[in-house]
Amino acid sequence: MSRAEKKRTLIAYSFLAPNFLGFAIFTLVPVVCAIALSFFEWNGGDISRLKFVGFDNYATIFNVKKVSQNGLAYFFNRVDLGISLKNTIFYTLITVPLTIVCALALALLLNKIRGAVAYRTIFFFPYVASMVAICVCWSFMLMKDGPINQFIQAIGIPFNKSWTADSAMAIWAIILVSVWRNMGYYMVIYLAALQGVPRELLEAATVDGAGKWKQFIHVTLPQLRPTTFFVSIMMIISCFKIYDVVAIMTDGGPGRSTKMLVTYIYDEAFVKIRYGQASAISMILLVIVLVITIIQFRSEKKFSSD
Amino acid sequence: MKKLLSVVLAAMMLLSLLSVPALAEDQVLKVVTWDATTTPYLIAQKEAYEASHPGVTIEYVDVASQDYGIKSTTMLEGGDASDVFMVKEIDDIIKWQAQGFAEPLNAYVEKTGYDLSGFVGTEKNYCVEDELYAVPFRSDFWVLFYNKDLFDAAGIEYPTNDMTWDEYAEKAIALTKDGVYGTHYHTWLSAVANWTVADGVNTLADKNYDDLLYFYQLYQKLEDAGACMAYAELKASGLHYSAAFANGNIAMMPMGYWYVSTLIGYNKDGTCSFNWGITAVPHADGVAAGSSFGNLTGAMINKNSANKDLAWDYISWLGGEEGAAATASVGARPAFVSENVAGAMSAVEGFPTDETSKGALIPSFVGMEWPVAEKVADIKTIVNEEHTMIMAREITPEEGIEEMNERVAELFE
Amino acid sequence: MEQTLHQKEIRRDNPVARKILHIVIYIVLTALALFTLIPFVWMLSSSLKLDREVFAYPMKWIPETIRWENYALIWQKVPLLTYFKNTAFIAIVVTFLQTLTSSFAAYAFAKLEFRGRDTLFLCYIATIAVPWQAYMLPQFIMMRSMGLYDTLWAMVVLQAFSAFGVFLMRQFYRSIPTELCEAARLDGLSEYGIWARIMLPLSKAAIATLVIFTFVSTWNDYMGPMIYLTRDANKTIQVGLRRFIQENSSDYHLIMAASLCSLLPVSIVFLCLQKYFIEGIATSGLKG
C-alpha cells in the first residue's frame, strides 16, 4: 500500500468508526453468536449445555428424512419450514412491487402540486400509528359485513367472509395492511429522492420534445435508481421479516395459512425454547436476503459504471 | 467454535452475575408477575403478606400478560436475580427446570414440615422426577356462567350443577332469539374442545383426538342454529369474552373461574348490572357431574436469588391456608382447597348468593388443560392450528381430527 | 414534421388539458386519502366509546354517548406521562446519534475508496437481514453484563447505530455527483470539509428523511423496550399501551385513545420536517 493509499484508508476508517463501533458491539457480535448457535443444540440455561450438532438443526427443520421419501411437494405442504417459506415468498412477491408502485405513484403525484403538505401527511399517517391499534382496526374493517366487503360486493365480487378467518384471504389481509401502512413511508423516500433529479435534465428533455411519460422513463426513473435499489432491498428484507401484523391479526392462522418465517422462528425460540433450530431458520432467511442483495448490488455497480 | 462461543457467553454470564446487587439486608422480595397493578388477588396477597411479615416488602416486577412467557424466560436467561417468578403455564416450570433456573424445593418442604395435602395432588404437575419445583397458589377450573335475567325473561329454568352437554345445547337453542345468544364460546381450543379431558382418562397429549369430535359437532350445531356468535367473526373482531358476556345478550358462557372476580368488579363499577350465577360445566354421558378441567398458577424460586429462605417463606405462605384466604378474599380460586377456603370464596361481596353457585365451587374432578408430557409444546401448536381450521370451517371436524392424529404421530416417528 | 404538429396541438390545449388533469389528480388523491383515513376515524370513534361498545357488531361509527373522559382516564390509569417522557428521551437521543454517525459513515461508503469497502457494506446489510428474534438472546445477555438492562440507555445504544441509516444515507450520497467532491478536493478541502460543507448541505432532504424514520421507528418500537425495560418508571408508550390489554379483560377504547395521543408528537416532527422534501438539492442548480 502506498502512503497516500494508507492515508486515504485511514481517513475512511475515521468516518466509519463512530458508527461501526456501536454497530459491531451491539449488533454484529450478537449476530455472529446467532450464526454459530445454528450449529448447536441449546435449550437455554447454562452454557455447559451447548452441544455441537453440526448440521442437525438444518436437517430437522428441513425434515430431510421425510422429504427425501416423499418429495418436494411434501416439503411445501406439510413441513413447517416449507409452508412458512412458501407463505413468506408469496407475501413478498406481491407486497414489494405493489408497495413500490403505489409509493412512487404517490410521490410523483405529490411532488409539485398545491396542498401537497396535507396529502403527504395523511399518507404518512398509517406508518406512524401504533401497530396494535391499526391491526385491531383492520381486522374489524375486513369482517364479514364490514365496509371493505360491502365495497367489493358493490363492485360485483361475491365474497362474504371475514378475511382473517379464511385461509385463502388471510394472507391478502396482511398484504393489504402492509401496503397501506408502508406506502407512505416509501413515498417519503421517493419524494426526497425526486428533489435530487436536476431540473435542468427535465427541462432539457422537454426541449427535446419528450412527453411526460418519456421524461419519466428516460430521465426520472434512471435518476431514482439508487433510491429504488435501497427501497427494494429494504422492502424485501422487511417483507421477509414480517412478524407483527401476522402476530396480531392472524397469529399464523387459520391453520398454517399465514405462518411466516419469523412467526416460526419466534415459536421455536420462545415457545419451544430450541434456540439452535431458531437460529438455523434465521440463517435460511439470511442466505436468501444476502443472495438477492448481492445480485442487486452487482447490477447497481454495473449501472453506475456505465 | 464451540469453545469460543462458550467462552464469550460464559464471560458475559459471569459479568452479569457480578453486577447483581445483594438484596439480603433490605428484605425486599422481588416477585416477577403479570398485570400486577390491576389483578385483585395480587394486591390482596401483597397486603396480607406484608401485614403478617413486618420488615419485608414485596416488590412486583410487572410484565404484560401476553408477553409473560418470552419476557420471563429472557430475564432468567440473562441471569436476572429476582427472587420469585410466578408460573403462568405448567410447561413454563418444566422448561425452567430443564434450563436449570428453578430451585428444587423438596429440601425446603422437609425442613419446614410443609403440608402439601391441601393441594389434593395438583402440585404433582410442578414435579419433575418427584422433585417439587414450584408451589401452586391458584387453581382455576372452568365453570358455566349464566345470565339469570335472560333465563327469567325466556321463562327457562336455570342450569344446574348436574346437566349434560345435550341438555345444555337444548337450553342454548331455546334461549336464542333476536339479539340474544344462548351461549358463547371464546375462540380458544379450551373453550370448545378441552371438555374431553374432564373424564380423567383422555388428555390432549394422548395422540388420539377422536374424542374431540363430539364437542366440535356440538359446537357446529349451535353455531348453525345461531345460538352462539360465529367463530370467524369473533376471531376477526377480536371481541374479548369479558366484554361479550358483560354486554348482557349472552345467556350462558363456559369460562375459567377467574372470570368471577372480573364480573364482580364489573358489577361494582357499573360496567354491567344484570344478575348472574355459576354452575358446574355440563358433563358428557357417563362422566361424573361436576367434572371439569383447569389450569394452575404457581410460584417458583429463582436459583439466582440471594434470598432463597425468605422466598420459600413467601411462596409457601402463598400456597398455604393464609395465602389461600387472601387469594379467595377477592374472588379468585386458590389451589389450596378446604371447606374454609370455599366458605371464604362464596362470602366475597358480589358473589352470587344461590346454593347452586356455591355448590359449583368444589368440583368433583379437575383434569389438567394441558398435561405434562413429552413434546407437549409441539403438540399444542399442531392441535391449535387444526383447531382454527375446523372452527373457521376450512375443513370438517373429521378431517381436522384426522390431521391432528396424523401430525402428532409424525412428531414421534 | 408530424411530431412538431402534434406538439403544437398539445401546447395549444395545454391550459384546459392541464386543468382537467389536475382535477383528476385531486379526485384520485382525495379518494385515496379518505381510504387511508378510514381506520383513523374508526380509532377516534372507538376511543370515545365504552370498551364493550368497541366491538359491538354491526359497527357504529358514532358512539351512543361520546365519552371524552376516556382521554382523561388514560393518564390516570397508567403513568402515561412518564411513558411519554421516556419515549421522547430515547427517540431524540437515538435520532441525533443515528443521523450524525450514519451520515458520517455513509460518506465513506459512498465517496471514498478503501480496501474492504464492499465487504463491510454487505456485512451491514446482512445484519439487517437477520431477524432480531434470532440474536435477541445473545444480545440480551451481553447488555445485562454491561449493566444496561432496564435502563433507557439500553434502547439508545441498540438503536442508534443501526445499519439502516448508513444504507439510506449511502444511497442518497451516491446520487450526488462525484465531480463535486473532486472539485472540492482540488480546491484543497479535506474529506471532513467536503462532508461538512458540501455533502451535508446537499443532503437536507435525506437527513430529514432519516430523522423522521428513526424518530418514528424508535417511537413505535415494541419488542425492544418490552424485553429491555422492566421497571414502570422506564417503560415506553408502546409497552405502556399493552397495559390496557390484560389477561382477563381489555380496554380497547383506552388503547385507541392513547394511540391517538401518541400519534401527535410524531406527526408534529413530520410536519416540521416535511418542507425539506420540496427544498432539496433541486434548488441549488446542480448539473447532472
The pLDDT tens digits of the residues spanning A93-106 come to: 999 999 999 999 99
Helix (H) or strand (E) holding B109: helix B106-112
Q: How far apart are CA C239 and CA C286, in angstroms?
A: 46
pLDDT at A91: 96
Q: How far apart are CA B405 and CA B209, in angstroms?
A: 6
| Predicted confidence (pLDDT) at residue C173 exceeds the cutoff of 80 | yes
Do C166 and C38 fall within a single domain?
A: no
Task: With respect to residue A47, please indicate whether it lies within any of the assigned structural domains.
Answer: no
- Among A16, A126, A209, the residue with its CB nearest the CB of C7 is A209
- Among C43, C127, C171, the residue with its CB nearest the CB of A137 is C43
Spatial contact of B312 and B105, defined as CB atoms under 8 Å apart: yes
- Give just the sign of the alpha carbon dihedral C59, C61, C64, C70: positive
Task: With respect to residue C62, please indicate whether it lies within any of the assigned structural domains.
Answer: no
Q: What is the CATH number of the domain that holds A284?
A: 1.10.3720.10
Which of B3, B16, B388, B403 should we substitute to test contact with A (largest number of A Cβ atoms within 10 Å)?
A: B388
Task: With respect to residue A221, please indicate whether it lies within any of the assigned structural domains.
Answer: yes
Q: How many CB atoms lie within 10 A of CB C76?
A: 9
Nearest residue in chain B measured CA to CA from C231:
B61
Do C16 and C148 fall within a single domain?
A: no
Do C133 and C209 fall within a single domain?
A: yes
Do C11 and C124 fall within a single domain?
A: no
pLDDT at B8: 59
Cβ-based contacts of C268 with chain A (< 8 Å): none
Q: How far apart are CA C32 and CA C52, in angstroms?
A: 31
CA quadruple B162, B163, B164, B166: dihedral, nearest 10: 170
Average pLDDT, chain B: 88
Q: How far apart are CA B160 and CA B281, in angstroms?
A: 9
Domain region containing A252: 72-305
CB of A163 within 8 Å of a chain B CB? The answer is yes
Which residues are registered as beta bridge partners of B28?
B57
Among residues B100, B8, A283, which one has the least CA distance to residue C141?
A: B8
CB of A42 within 8 Å of a chain B CB? The answer is no
Instruction: Find all residues with CB under 8 Å of A220, minimum gap 6, and list them.
Output: A108, A194, A197, A202
Maximum mean pLDDT: which of A186-195, A287-296, B235-244, C81-90: C81-90
For the residues A183-198, what does the mean pLDDT come to? 82
Do C7 and C87 fall within a single domain?
A: no
pLDDT at B24: 45
Helix, strand or coil, per DSSP, at residue B228 = coil
Do C132 and C166 fall within a single domain?
A: yes
Domain region containing C110: 70-284
CB of A47 within 8 Å of a chain B CB? The answer is yes
Task: With respect to residue A67, please indicate whether it lies within any of the assigned structural domains.
Answer: no
Which of B6, B8, B12, B263 should we substitute to test contact with C (largest number of C Cβ atoms within 10 Å)?
A: B12
| Predicted confidence (pLDDT) at residue B15 exceeds the cutoff of 70 | no
| Predicted confidence (pLDDT) at residue C24 exceeds the cutoff of 50 | yes
pLDDT at B108: 94
pLDDT at C278: 59
Instruction: Find all residues with CB under 8 Å of A177, minimum gap 6, and list them.
Output: A134, A135, A138, A245, A249
Task: With respect to residue C65, please indicate whether it lies within any of the assigned structural domains.
Answer: no
Which residues are registered as beta bridge partners of B277?
B146
Amino acid at C128: I
**DSSP string of C210-263, one letter each residue:** HHHHHHHHHHH--HHHHHH--SGGG--HHHHHGGGB-SS-B-HHHHHHHHHHHH
Which tens digits make up the pLDDT trace of B322-370?
899 898 888 888 888 777 777 878 888 888 888 888 888 888 888 888 8
Cβ separation B100–A45 shorter than 8 A: yes
Which tens digits make up the pLDDT trace of B26-83?
689 999 999 888 888 999 999 999 999 988 999 999 888 888 988 998 899 888 889 9
Instruction: Find all residues with CB under 8 Å of A252, minimum gap 6, and list them.
Output: A246, A258, A259, A260, A263, B385
Which tens digits make up the pLDDT trace of C189-233?
888 888 888 888 888 888 888 898 899 889 988 888 988 988 888
Q: How far apart are CA A254 and CA A260, in angstroms?
A: 13
Task: With respect to residue A157, please indicate whether it lies within any of the assigned structural domains.
Answer: yes
Q: How far apart are CA A239 and CA A242, in angstroms?
A: 5
Spatial contact of B117 and B338, defined as CB atoms under 8 Å apart: no
Q: How far apart are CA C142 and CA C155, in angstroms?
A: 13
Percentage of chain C lying above the pLDDT 70 cut: 89
For the residues C13-25, what does the mean pLDDT come to? 79
Q: For residue A78, which phi and psi values (nearest 5 degrees)? A: -120, -30
| Predicted confidence (pLDDT) at residue C287 exceeds the cutoff of 50 | no
Q: How far apart are CA A91 and CA A86, in angstroms?
A: 9
For the residues A278-295, what does the mean pLDDT come to? 88
Q: How far apart are CA C63 and CA C66, in angstroms?
A: 6
Amino acid at B392: A
Which tens digits make up the pLDDT trace of B258-298?
888 888 888 888 888 899 999 999 999 888 888 999 889 99
Average pLDDT, chain C: 82
Q: How far apart are CA A241 and CA B40, in angstroms?
A: 39
| Predicted confidence (pLDDT) at residue B183 exceeds the cutoff of 90 | yes
Q: How far apart are CA A13 and CA A11, in angstroms?
A: 5
Do C176 and C39 fall within a single domain?
A: no
Which DSSP category does B180 fall into? B
| Predicted confidence (pLDDT) at residue A8 exceeds the cutoff of 90 | no
Which DSSP category does B283 fall into? B
Q: How confident is the model at residue B112 (pLDDT cuts 50, 70, 90)?
A: very high
Spatial contact of B182 and B222, defined as CB atoms under 8 Å apart: yes
Q: What is the CATH number of the domain that holds C90?
A: 1.10.3720.10
The 10 Å CB-count burial string (b at 16+, else e) for C249-284 is bbbbbbbbbbbbbbbebbeebbeebbebbbebbbee
Do C89 and C140 fall within a single domain?
A: yes
Q: How confident is the model at residue B174 (pLDDT cuts 50, 70, 90)?
A: very high
Task: With respect to residue A263, please indicate whether it lies within any of the assigned structural domains.
Answer: yes
Task: With respect to residue A18, please indicate whether it lies within any of the assigned structural domains.
Answer: no
pLDDT at C4: 46
Give, to the nearest 10 degrees, the angle between helix A116-128 and helix A80-111.
160
Cβ-based contacts of A143 with chain C (< 8 Å): 57
For the residues B292-306, what does the mean pLDDT come to? 92
Among residues B78, B288, B313, B281, which one has the least CA distance to residue B190?
A: B281
Total domain count for chain A? Answer: 1
Which tens digits make up the pLDDT trace of B359-369?
888 888 888 88
**DSSP string of B5-31, one letter each residue:** HHHHHHHHHHHHHHTPPP-TTTTEEEE
A51-52 and B131-132: which strand pairing?
A: unpaired
Do C35 and C160 fall within a single domain?
A: no
Q: How confident is the model at residue B151 (pLDDT cuts 50, 70, 90)?
A: very high
Cβ-based contacts of C55 with chain B (< 8 Å): 237-240, 243-244
Q: How far apart are CA A235 and CA A293, in angstroms?
A: 11
Task: With respect to residue A144, please indicate whether it lies within any of the assigned structural domains.
Answer: yes
Instruction: Find all residues with CB under 8 Å of C220, minimum gap 6, and list them.
Output: A128, A130, A131, C238, C266
pLDDT at C279: 53
Helix, strand or coil, per DSSP, at residue B87 = strand
Task: With respect to residue A138, please indicate whether it lies within any of the assigned structural domains.
Answer: yes
Do C180 and C86 fall within a single domain?
A: yes
As given in the structure block, the three cell numbers for residue B304 are 439466582
Residue whose C-alpha cell reads 446537499 in the numeric block = C202
Total domain count for chain C? Answer: 2
Task: With respect to residue C30, please indicate whether it lies within any of the assigned structural domains.
Answer: yes
pLDDT at C284: 34
Maximum mean pLDDT: which of A117-121, C48-52, C91-95, C122-126: C91-95
pLDDT at A304: 60
User: In Å, how far is B22's CA from the nearest CA of chain A?
Assistant: 22
| Predicted confidence (pLDDT) at residue A259 exceeds the cutoff of 90 | yes
pLDDT at B4: 58
Do C87 and C162 fall within a single domain?
A: yes
For the residues A125-143, what does the mean pLDDT come to? 85
**DSSP string of A31-45, one letter each residue:** HHHHHHHTTEE--SS
Cβ-based contacts of C102 with chain A (< 8 Å): 19
Cβ separation A37–B410 shorter than 8 A: no
Cis peptide before C58 (omega within 30 of 0): yes
pLDDT at C57: 64
CB of A303 within 8 Å of a chain C CB? The answer is no
| Predicted confidence (pLDDT) at residue A1 exceeds the cutoff of 80 | no
Give, to the nearest 10 degrees, the angle between helix A170-194 and helix A225-240.
150
Which tens digits make up the pLDDT trace of B192-211?
989 999 888 888 988 899 99
| Predicted confidence (pLDDT) at residue B12 exceeds the cutoff of 80 | no
pTM: 0.88
Q: How confident is the model at residue B1 (pLDDT cuts 50, 70, 90)?
A: low
Cβ separation A278–C134 shorter than 8 A: yes
Structural domains of chain B, ranges and CATH numbers in brackets: 13-139+294-346 (3.40.190.10), 141-293+355-411 (3.40.190.10)
Q: How far apart are CA C128 and CA C159, in angstroms?
A: 12
For the residues B156-160, what does the mean pLDDT come to? 92
Nearest residue in chain B measured CA to CA from A51:
B2
pLDDT at C8: 45
Helix (H) or strand (E) holding B43: helix B40-52
Do C116 and C40 fall within a single domain?
A: no
Q: For residue B175, which phi and psi values (nearest 5 degrees)? A: -80, -20
Task: With respect to residue C64, please indicate whether it lies within any of the assigned structural domains.
Answer: no
